[in-house]
Amino acid sequence: MTATDVQRTIDALWRMESARLTARLTRLVRDVGVAEELAQDALVVALEQWPVSGVPDNPAAWLMTTASNRAIDHLRRLRMQASKHDSISHELEMEQQLRGSPVEACADDAIGDDLLRLIFIACHPLLSTEARTALTLKLLAGLTTAEIARAFLVPEPTIAQRIVRAKRTLSEAHVPFEIPRAEELTARVASVLEVIYLIFNEGYSATAGDDWTRPALCDEALRLGRILAELAPAEAEVHGLVALMEIQASRLRARVGPGGEPVLLMEQSRALWDLVLIQRGLRALARGESLGETRGRYLLQAAIAACHARAPTPADTDWVYITALYDALARLTPSPVVELNRAVAVSMAYGPAAGLQLADQLAAQGELESYHLLPSVRGDLLAKLGRFDEARSEFERAAALTHNVRESRLLRDRAAACRRGEM
């Protein structure tokens, strides 16, 4: 095996095993920052030794062994520092655990609980949304700081600072490495789902930059969602989010044209939609709906996505039912963005004038003044009503508000079409 092959093997292994390794070490040393450092130390040793000695037969166990040896050294140092005190039982207990077989540790069923605990720590409400997102991608997706920075078009030092501050905050707050108690679980699960969906949405519709989509981020969010669904099988909203992401991800190939240009939903070739992902999404939706009498925000959104997935053509879409689902979503989680989506559904079900009335009300309220999709929606509805001059103005305003190069170009093209009266 060449050095390049070894490097690729290590990279792939790290992406697959880093979360499990960090999760197990966090349970042992009770500090996510220290655990990540120990895991990284093991990776460095692999990078140094494997090109010379070759890849071990069980590389995951090898990494656990190496990290465990460093954890033993760490706990010994702690024991020496605490030798003047009485409270050293935890360190002694952890060292005893680490002396067990790392192969057995890798296969231990408790690794699922450890991963779940790590997810809850990375998405802890103590942290800002930006910090939770960065830490989740670092610890659970195995992305490097540079990869996270590129994905969100943020300077690498900014991401590094967020991660360092997040780990320091968790350490100083002595956040326990445990699954939240029943009375906290719903709120904490909501925090986790928010982070995963934020990652997915940034991949599905990039807020800035030259690319309309970033499929790699969608893949990472889906992977995290699927893991969470297996670790928390009784949580209906977890399955709802997975269903939503699976179905939306099925459209990724169709969302981008040959030149990288955006292709909107109603103009997409449905032959390009991934039927495997759609079927997975529909199964996850059914699983989530079977767990409760009422649907939460993610199950409702998944049900909307399923309506599109089940329609063989745009004309077959059940917009009346989609409107009813948006009505339910607006009651459950009222927000101007939900209302804007509801306005689109109403326009498709009952005509552009009805949708424009709702969009105009949102514009008058001012909450979405800097949100580019409001003038984009208004422009589309005005164009359908033949009010091309007003539509052109709205599209131009939307193009000025978005930070995504591809989307801005699309909106300017639509403004030009209005000028020619072609929409």
Q: What are phi and psi of 335, to 5 degrees?
A: -160, 155
In a domain, 328, yes or no: no
Query: Which helix (H) or strand (E) segment is 404 a member of?
Result: strand 403-404
407 vs 259: CA distance, rounded Å = 13
pTM of the model: 0.80
Question: Domain for residue 147, yes or no?
Answer: no
Taking only the tens place, the pLDDT of each residue in 349-360 is: 999 999 999 999
Domain end among 108, 126, 149: 108
Q: For residue 338, which amino acid is it?
A: V
Give CA–CA dist 257/273, Å, rounded.
13
pLDDT, tens only, 83-131: 544 444 454 455 455 445 444 444 444 446 788 888 899 999 899 999 9
In order, the DSSP letters of 208-220 are EES-S--HHHHHH
For residue 218, tell me if it sits in a domain: no
Within a domain: 199: no
For the chain, the domain total comes to 2
> What is the domain range of residue 381?
344-423
Whether residue 246 contacts residue 211, with contact meaning beta carbons closer than 8 Å, is answered with no
- For residues 389 and 398, the answer to whether their CB atoms sit within 8 Å is no
The tens-digit pLDDT sequence of the chain (423 residues) is: 677 787 888 888 887 788 888 888 888 888 888 888 888 888 888 888 888 888 888 888 888 888 888 888 887 777 776 654 444 445 445 545 544 544 444 444 444 678 888 889 999 989 999 999 999 988 887 788 988 888 787 899 999 999 999 999 998 998 888 888 877 888 889 899 999 999 999 899 988 888 889 898 899 899 999 989 988 899 999 999 999 999 999 999 999 999 999 999 999 999 999 999 999 999 999 999 999 778 999 999 999 999 999 999 999 999 999 999 999 999 999 999 999 999 999 999 999 999 999 999 999 999 999 999 999 999 999 999 999 999 999 999 999 999 899 999 999 999 999 998 876
Q: Which of 108, 140, 167 represents a domain boundary (last residue)?
A: 108
Q: Does the residue 419 lie in any domain?
A: yes
Token readout for 42 is 């093991």
Diameter over CA atoms, the chain? 83
Radius of gyration over every alpha carbon of the chain, rounded to an integer in angstroms: 25
> What are the backbone angles phi and psi of residue 385, rounded to the nearest 5°?
-90, 5
In a domain, 136, yes or no: no
Per 3-state DSSP, what percentage of the chain is helix, strand, and coil (rounded to 5)? 75, 0, 25
Query: Is residue 79 a part of any domain in this protein?
Result: yes
Token pair for residue 174? Answer: 């002595």
DSSP tag of 400: H
Inside any domain, residue 121:
no
Residues ≥6 apart with Cβ < 8 Å to 37: none
Examine the fold and report which residue of 72, 88, 108 is the final residue of a domain before the chain moves on.
108
